[in-house]
A and B are shown apart, each in its own frame.
Chain A
Amino acid sequence: MTGKASRDWRSRGRALAYILPSLLVLALIFLYPLGEAFWISLQRWNLISGVKRWGGLYNYAAIFTDPGFPQVVRVTFVYSTLSVAFEFALGLGLALAVRAGVRRGLPGFALIRVLVLAPLLVAPLLWAFYFRAFYSPQFGLFNAILNGIGLPSVLWVNDADIAIYSLVLADVWQWTPFMFSILLAGLLALPSDVVEAARVDGASGWRILLSIELPMLRPVLLVAILIRTIDSLRYLDLVLVITQGGPGRSTEILNYLAYRTSFQEFQLGRGAALSFVVFALVMVVAGALLRVMWKNANAR
């Protein structure tokens, strides 16, 4: 080894030794619980009786051979896809409107920009309880409004055909402001010279938006979609508080199934296995989105 290479190697080694204690603590906080959870997922463990025995991949096999499992996966994807799609569309629309209003100095838009973020200030679990009350078929706010304007009541979460869409609505209410705030920041950070040049060339507002601004905004869009997709796949509050997976199994998502198995059936092993299935699903989806982002970054 040459003198410089040897000194570099010793330097790196010393640096690693200095930060090793912190790395060990991080590994303890992150990797140990993950490892322990995986170990639990290989056990057949009833928390009430305390009976715990080795199951190997038994829990995973039981999950994938459960005839109800495909339905749970389907509901999870429907919930996640619709929530993120609507949040994206509404968030982008609101961001464009607020940007236009702020740029033109229209009165009130600076305040609207803050008010749109209001749902984010309330804890998600509280919103879940509020929406449970709003969705009550006879005593809820939404049906009171509908009846007040002469429309019939809707069985928001009492009808198996529409319950999942009612949960999507509640999710969109809560998380559109998050999408809005990221997209507005991205829009305001776009370089104005390119847009001005297009305007001088006679491009319309729509053409500028579709051909110039949105492509430039793509990295921000992808990050926002990635974060919300990961969150929506892991989300639990609305289902836990409002429907508990019902009516029937129409709103049972993977994360709720994991919760129910662990803490209502007290089957800790199978619940841990379900958590890893959710983890794997999130990693696959996140990985796919990151690949798109990476390709996009390379293309630029």
Chain B
Amino acid sequence: MNDRRNAGAPWSRRDFLSRAALLSGAAVGGSALGGPGRFFAPAIAAEPVTINVLTLGQGIFGDPFVNLSPEFTELTGIKVNNITMGYNESMQKQAAVFAAQGTDLDVVGVDYMFLKGYARAGHLAALDPLIAKDLADYYSDVPANLKEVWSLDGQTYGMATVGNCQNFIYNNGHLADAGLQPPDTWDDVLTSAQKVVSAEKNRYGFVAGTERLTKAVTVWLPMFWANGGEIFDDKMKPIFASDTGVRSLEFLLELMKTMPPGGGAYTESDEIKAMSVGLATLDPASWIPDAIINADAATKPNLKTKVAPMGSARRSPVLGGIGLCVSNYSPSKEAAAQYVAWFNSKKVQVDQIVQAGGQPCRISAWAANADAHPWFPSLAENLKVAKSLPQIAEWGQVDSALSTQLTQAFAGEIKPKDALEAAQAAVDDVMQEAGYY
């Protein structure tokens, strides 16, 4: 068949197919060969070390790293590429990068509850061989519970860097107006919350974020722990559907009756706003000081903070904190460890981290910065008694199972006992499947 093309003649089907195939073959072949870059040797030059640092973008867990990294670069010559994102995205990204054993990240801001899981899986580099002298100095100046939280089998895998836990914010003006003193025990909190509610003054008692994601469980836990409750026994079997657990949840539901309407599914931003405009009075499970920072002119002078309420057994705010770790897949572990050590050094913790928008983890730094913010003294006291969430790889599933049932109890769909028993059964399945027993 003569398929020579006459100029101006329309293409036949054969012409179209053959030309399309030529083009696609060229495209595939070109990309397989690596394009033009493959044929030119890269220029060889000594490049300064650059480390990729993953942290949150804003607030106490993000601002200090973004603001102080340039100074670290100036002092050490190590360039820093700050990768910042929101909490959920950061946790998902690091989990994915670790699972793929990616080399994209050198320093990672890890939430302490994932630390031991990552360390056991081999994703984190032990810091002891890299910065032994810095660690010795660091441990001499942090609360004892932090060493246990950030290490595994005697090796340190992270440094706390930014210290945080739940703080108790209250409106002193509302309490005084009702003839009340700031409450010291959980029973006092309930009594005060009930007495301070006033429809004509548009004033409510207790407030907290109660939404499913991360909030529901950490609202209930401080009351549960303060009354001697434990989530797991020695064999990691869930035991929270005990009398203590049920009573604590019933107690929380009583407190929630003094919340503004919609309290069963209250977002953190509503919680903060409610305190900052004087709508609510008592926020004993506050994670960030934004209510005080953003309070209106009339409310701000009345907002105070104090140590967590006492239960029958102890004071038990939930420990928070995102610390810095070195990825075991990092091609620049020494430089990454230097970054971690620098941010946890006495000088940076005492003189710079607060000014850069963060909170310290060292005891000396809390003492030196006690006057920096009005909520610092109570936060420092709370950090000494704060209790950590279980640091197990299955915590995401445990939190999900618990929060699903708790929010159903908050919504009045099920009774507290049924909620905790259902949650305990679900967590029992999780722990069995994970091979704990």
Contacts and interface: CB of A to CB of B under 8 A. Distances in A.
A244 interface: yes
Given A47-B99, A248-B407, A250-B411, A18 B20 contact: yes
B153 to A, nearest CB: 15
Interface in A13-31: 14-15, 17-19, 21-22, 24-25
A192 interface: no
Contact of A19 (B17, B122, B211, B267): B17
Given A46-B434, A249-B408, A263-B92, A137 B24 contact: no
Contact of A50 (B99, B260, B270, B400): B99
A264 interface: yes
A243 interface: yes
A18 B261 contact: no
Nearest to B429: A62
Most chain B Cβ neighbours within 10 Å, of A19, A68, A265? A265
A136 B267 contact: yes
B90 to A, nearest CB: 12
B267 A22 contact: no
A21 B410 contact: no
Contacts of B17: 14-15, 18-19
A47 B21 CA distance: 42
Contact of A139 (B263, B264, B273, B400): B273
A246 interface: yes
Interface stretch (B155-163, B302-310, B390-398): B390-398
B2 interface: no
Given A48-B117, A137-B270, A138-B260, A158 B408 contact: no
Contacts of A49: 117, 120-121, 393-394
Nearest to A243: B265
Nearest to A245: B212
Contacts of B4: none
A221 B413 CA distance: 40
A206 to B, nearest CB: 44
B262 interface: yes
B21 A265 contact: no
B96 interface: yes
B114 interface: yes
Interface string A1-40: 0000000000100110111011011000000000000000
Contacts of A196: none
A48 B95 contact: yes
A11 B13 CA distance: 10
Contact of B394 (A46, A250, A260): A46
Contacts of A247: 264-265, 407-408, 410-411
Given A138-B260, A248-B413, A264-B400, A21 B24 contact: yes
Contacts of B25: 18, 21
B168 interface: no
A44 B95 CA distance: 16
A153 interface: yes
B88 interface: yes
B266 interface: yes
A18 B114 contact: no
Given A47-B95, A155-B262, A22 B121 contact: no
Contacts of B98: 50
A266 B98 CA distance: 12
Contacts of B412: 160
A263 B95 CA distance: 9
Interface in B8-61: 14, 17-18, 20-22, 24-25, 27-29
Interface in A143-189: 153, 155, 157-160, 163
Interface size class of B (residues with CB under 8 A): 35 or more
B211 A244 contact: yes
A48 to B, nearest CB: 4
A265 B396 contact: yes
Contact of A246 (B14, B274, B411): B411
A113 interface: no
Contact of B261 (A22, A51, A137): A137
Contact of A138 (B18, B118, B274): B274
B263 to A, nearest CB: 8
B14 A139 contact: no
A267 interface: yes
A228 interface: no
A21 B264 contact: no
For B27, B29, B99, B123, the residue with the greatest tally of chain A CB atoms inside 10 Å of its CB is B99
Nearest to B280: A138
A15 B14 CA distance: 8
B388 interface: no
B283 to A, nearest CB: 15
A132 interface: yes
B213 interface: yes
Nearest to B407: A246
B84 interface: no
B74 interface: no
B238 to A, nearest CB: 16
Contacts of A159: 262
A273 B252 CA distance: 36
A17 B24 CA distance: 11
Contacts of B223: none
A60 B28 CA distance: 38
Interface string B142-184: 0000000000000000000000000000000000000000000
B411 A137 contact: no
Nearest to B13: A15
B261 A155 contact: yes
A2 B433 CA distance: 65
A246 B265 contact: yes
A123 to B, nearest CB: 16
Given A48-B114, A48-B118, 8 more contacts: A15-B14, A21-B24, A49-B121, A158-B265, A249-B404, A250-B411, A265-B400, A268-B99
28 contacts: A14-B17, A18-B21, A21-B27, A48-B95, A48-B114, A48-B394, A49-B120, A68-B404, A137-B270, A138-B274, A158-B265, A160-B413, A243-B211, A243-B265, A244-B211, A244-B212, A246-B211, A246-B265, A248-B404, A248-B407, A248-B410, A249-B404, A260-B400, A263-B88, A264-B88, A264-B399, A266-B397, A267-B396
